[in-house]
């Protein structure tokens, strides 16, 4: 999310995602972002997360959202 640019902010420095994109012809078992994600957990490597509705306009497929929901915290 930190690599998404905002409008009208000339001083903004975008934060690149480290590593290289995955091989789309050889997709991993778990989340395709796991090797490059600072928040990756063991489950991220083993299993891809299902899409989860955050609100009427947003959805995510990230284990962090599931973990937060299970702990009663915010979902996004």
Token pair 């915290």: residue: 73
Q: How many other C-beta atoms can be found within 10 angstroms of the C-beta atom of residue 37?
A: 17
Q: Which part of the chain contacts ligand SF4 (CB under 6 A), choosing from 1-9, 18-26, 27-35, 51-59?
A: 27-35
Task: Please give the Cα distance from 52 to 31 (Å, whole number).
Answer: 14
What is the CA 63 to chain-centroid distance, rounded? 8
Asked if 22 touches ligand SF4 (CB under 6 A), the answer is: no
Closer to ligand SF4 at the Cβ: 14 or 39?
39
Contacting positions for ligand SF4 (CB under 6 A): 31, 33-34, 37, 39-41, 44, 49, 62-64
């Amino acid at each position: 999310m930190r690599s998404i640019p905002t409008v009208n902010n000339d001083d903004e420095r975008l934060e690149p995602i480290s590593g290289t994109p995955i091989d789309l012809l050889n997709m991993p078992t778990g989340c395709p972002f796991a090797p490059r994600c600072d928040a990756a957990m063991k489950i991220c490597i083993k299993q891809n997360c299902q899409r989860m509705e955050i609100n009427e306009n947003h959805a995510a497929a990230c284990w962090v959202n599931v973990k937060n929901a299970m702990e009663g915290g915010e979902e996004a």
